[in-house]
Amino acid sequence: MLEIKNLTKVYEGGTQALTDVSFSVKPGEFLAVIGLSGSGKSTLLRCINRLIEPTEGQIIWNGQDVTAASQDEMLKIRRKIGMIFQHFNLVTRSKVITNVLAGRLGYVNPALSLMNRFPKKDHEMAFKQLDRVSIADQAYKRADELSGGQQQRVGIARAMVQEPDIILADEPVASLDPVLAHSIMQYLETINQEDGVMVLCSLHFLDLVHRYADRAIALNGGKLMFDGPPQDIDDAKFKEIYGKEAERVG
Amino acid sequence: MNKKKPSLLRSLGIALGAALVIIVFAYGVKVTDVNFETTRSEDRLTQLKRVIRALVKPDIIEYDYDVTVVEIPFYLPCPEGEEISTPEVDKSQPYMLANAYCASPQEIVQITGKNFPPDTKGPVDFYTTSGVKKPLGDFYSDSNGDFQLDVELPTRQPIAEAQRIISTIRIRVGNPMFTETAKATWDKIIETVFMALLATAIGTALAIPVSFIAARNLMAENKSPLTSIAFSIIGWPIGIYLGLKTAGFARQLLTPYLDSPGKAAIGLAIGIALVILILQRVLKASDKKPGFDMMDIIKIVAYVVAGLAGIAVMLFIETLSRTIGLALVDPLGPFGFIGNFLYQMGEASTLIIPAFVALGLGAVVGGALGNIGQTISDKSPASVVRIINIIGTTVAGASLFALIGAGINWLYQIDNLSKTLYWPAGIGAVIGLVLALLVKPKQPLPTGLIIYFITRTILNGTRSVESLVMAIVFVIWVGIGPFAGSLALALHTLAALAKLYSEQVESIMPGPLEAVTATGANRLQTIIYAVVPQIVSPYISFTMYRWDINVRMSTIIGFVGGGGIGFLLQQNINLLDYRAASVQMVAIAVVVALMDYVSSVVRERMT
């Protein structure tokens, strides 16, 4: 159970990114986060693993207060939270397998990992996850030799070798074409359904939300505007979330 | 943009600006002593011609010469009441005749040469009885080996004996050879290139870790509360002191085992085995529950033992490399320098090990106390934290300022305890106290940025001192020679590269950094996995570029005694031996051009 309580984030310089956002996510749920660009979706996701330090509020994960965790405790919490990014965020000059193994850094012996030594078990796990997203044959290529869709699959494999309980996906398909977008979303769906991993995924396209999400929350200007099943987003709700001028596409 | 009509004010402004520019340049001309009159001076032009002609004839190749001397006796002036007879000549050899064998000073005499080697050139000189030479001119023999030359006689004091006019014939024999100058230049240019190589290697090795500390994007996120900062400020000097003591103590303790390579080798093996064994055991148990328990104490003891074993290992390696190196110098013959290298590495370790242990222990104690501070700040109520802060920062401020006071005392030799200890410590304590009262107890402070600014300031300061100036200090420390030059260049390289590198780190893509952080990797792992792959190739290209600069710098560092080719160059310029100086200039030009080419090729390959 992930509970977000009264989460507020004010950036240095006074930008109010999140205002008093509260919601909770059940284990195994696929939650879509929707809203305009700049509505605070990314900030919200990054507050959950404290890549961004929340200003106020609490994040409770299985009874543990994430916001109060010390730096060492935070490392332990983070390794159970996989993250997938809009721009993949792979280390492009490193090999695919190295990128995936980076997901094991929180678990392995720190001294050995600095010399790029990982246990055999971790290698096997990395190949298993690469195989799952059907790019095991690309393992020894440099990450920048792969296409966008392939790179995002490496990103998923990296998140999965963390053996995560939560996956935070920050607009994972926004820089991919519609066909690839569906294939990536299907991988996320598989992970959600087969492994029972909770997925928090920010999305732009409502049809993707309808197709994949169990539940959706909507942000506008950092405020929570909607929390419920995707099919409840009717035209009135839509205009509330996206503004009066907005029109539905897709 | 709307176009404005040129107003009067605007034109006046332009005129004023133009006038200002002229004034600035006019002043520049004055202070730089521009004087075109001197450029036309007859004397200076002759000298210039001489120097330029010498410079275009570098003294690289020479021949052995067969020297033949042809002479005729000559009286200057004519002795009174004495007939001068025409000297006998051997017509099978080259010989000279004159239209007169005595004359008054500054008279013109015609000299004829016969049987000379055809088409040669050589000097004709007037020799006094005491052997002083006055050049009269040069002869050029024609295709028959004859010449005719009118010479003006020098002014001489009258003397009773016959003096001589001598033509010297020099004929090249054998193959061209390199001159001594060329050989010396070759030696020195090799020295120069390797000086630059060593300096670049040392500077790079040190600049890489520093560059991470001097990179804003890596440091900005490091924040810690006042408690942690105060504790680690107290911890660092204690750790450094303990480190120095430990290193000294370990050396003393191990002295009996350091005298023979056999004992040292056994010690080394045991030490390495111990370190590996302990680290394997301890690091395996990485997952643990929060809180302090028996396991922690065992771990700490294990780390201490491993650390001590590590120090022993370093000392054994030092001994081994010193003794083995020394033993290898003779048997290796021409490769004896490898033995010397090992020996010098051992010697360097004697300097480096205590510093290394001191810094290491400083980091351990400072870090551990900092962690304790962090935990206290995280877990204790604000009021308790405030009280601990007040005590901690007061002590930290006092000790920090006392250390600064000691540093100042070392520099200025004030030797007055109240000025160098009590006052600074007092002021530091007050500053610490005020800080603890002002700052909110658990407020995270930007320690990373503070360290970043301090590092940057030190780097900028170091970088602004030219390596030529640094060399002067190092020459005093390690003596005249290339070693001093290498050290000076290395220090400058460290400062310059650390800045270039850190800017490279600042310009990396933040995405991968974020992604690796999100996996739960610690700071060091994040740097190795997300930062290093992005900076390897620019680092290599900067390093090549720096080597290029160092080669150029090392050519002149010899001016101040720093070794390398500059020493020769300066010596020859001072001796007015421009042909020799020219050889060194050519060598420098060739090496710099080559380096430039090589480094540009390598850099192109890299990126």
Note whether B525 contacts A114, CB cutoff 8 Å: yes
Contact residues, chain B, for A114 at CB < 8 Å: 524-525, 528
User: Which of B209-213's residues contact partners 24+ apart within 8 Å by CB, and which partners?
Assistant: B210/B455, B210/B459, B210/B494, B210/B498, B210/B502, B211/B497, B211/B498, B211/B499, B211/B500, B211/B501, B211/B502, B211/B504, B211/B505, B212/B502, B212/B505, B212/B527, B212/B531, B213/B451, B213/B452, B213/B455, B213/B502
pTM confidence score: 0.76
> Which part of chain B is CATH 1.10.3720.10?
180-208+451-607
Closest CA to B476 of B468, B484, B466: B484
Nearest residue of B to residue A70 by CA position?
B378
pLDDT of residue B6: 66
pLDDT of residue A187: 93
pLDDT of residue B133: 84
> Which part of chain B is CATH 2.60.40?
66-176
Architecture of domain B66-176: Sandwich (2.60)
Query: pLDDT tens for residues A40-49?
Result: 999 999 999 9
Contact residues, chain B, for A76 at CB < 8 Å: 520
- Percent of residues, chain A, with pLDDT higher than 70: 99
Q: Which residues of A touch B (CB under 8 A)?
A: 49, 51, 68, 70-71, 73, 75-83, 85, 87-94, 98, 102-107, 109-114, 155, 158, 162, 168
pLDDT of residue B1: 47
**B511/A contact by beta carbon, under 8 A:** yes
Per-residue b or e along A191-211, where b marks 16 or more CB atoms closer than 10 Å to that residue's CB: bbeeeebbbbbbbbbbebbee
In CATH terms, the superfamily for domain B180-208+451-607 is MetI-like (1.10.3720.10)
φ, ψ at B403 (rounded to 5°)? -65, -45
Contact residues, chain A, for B520 at CB < 8 Å: 75-80, 105-107, 162
Please give the full DSSP string across B476-492, using - where no structure is assigned. Answer: HHH-SSHHHHHHHHHHH
Task: Using 70 as the pLDDT threshold, list the residues of chain A that sit under it.
Answer: 248-250
Note whether B529 contacts A94, CB cutoff 8 Å: yes
Closest CA to B514 of A86, A229, A193: A86
Minimal C-alpha gap between B387 and chain A (Å): 21
pLDDT of residue B255: 85
pLDDT of residue B277: 86
Minimal C-alpha gap between B508 and chain A (Å): 11
Domain boundaries, chain A: 1-80+164-250, 88-162
What secondary structure, in 3-state letters, does B301-349 show?
A: HHHHHHHHHHHHHHHHHHHHHHHHHHHHHCCCHHHHHHHHHHHHHHHHH
Averaged pLDDT in 10-residue chunks for chain B of 607 residues: 70 94 94 86 89 90 87 82 76 86 85 88 86 86 88 78 84 86 91 91 93 89 87 92 92 84 86 85 60 74 88 90 87 86 89 92 91 85 88 91 90 83 90 89 86 93 90 90 91 94 92 93 90 89 87 86 87 91 91 85 73
Q: List, edge to edge, every strand of the sheet that includes A198-202.
A: A81-84, A166-170, A198-202, A30-35, A215-220, A223-228
**C-beta of residue B214 within 8 angstroms of C-beta of residue B502:** yes
For chain B, how far is it from start to end, CA to CA, in angstroms?
42
Minimal C-alpha gap between B320 and chain A (Å): 27
**B504/A contact by beta carbon, under 8 A:** no
CB neighbours of A156 closer than 8 A, spacing ≥ 6? A84, A129, A133, A184, A187, A188, A191
Note whether A91 contacts B286, CB cutoff 8 Å: no
**B520/A contact by beta carbon, under 8 A:** yes
Nearest residue of B to residue A49 by CA position?
B518
Interface test with chain B among A89, A117, A154, by most B beta carbons within 10 Å: A89
Nearest residue of B to residue A68 by CA position?
B378
Note whether B520 contacts A162, CB cutoff 8 Å: yes
Nearest residue of B to residue A103 by CA position?
B519
Nearest residue of A to residue B524 by CA position?
A114
pLDDT of residue B503: 92
Query: pLDDT tens for residues A155-187?
Result: 999 999 999 999 999 999 988 888 899 999 999
pLDDT of residue B606: 66
Q: What is the CATH number of domain A1-80+164-250?
A: 3.40.50.300
ipTM field: 0.93
pLDDT of residue B260: 79
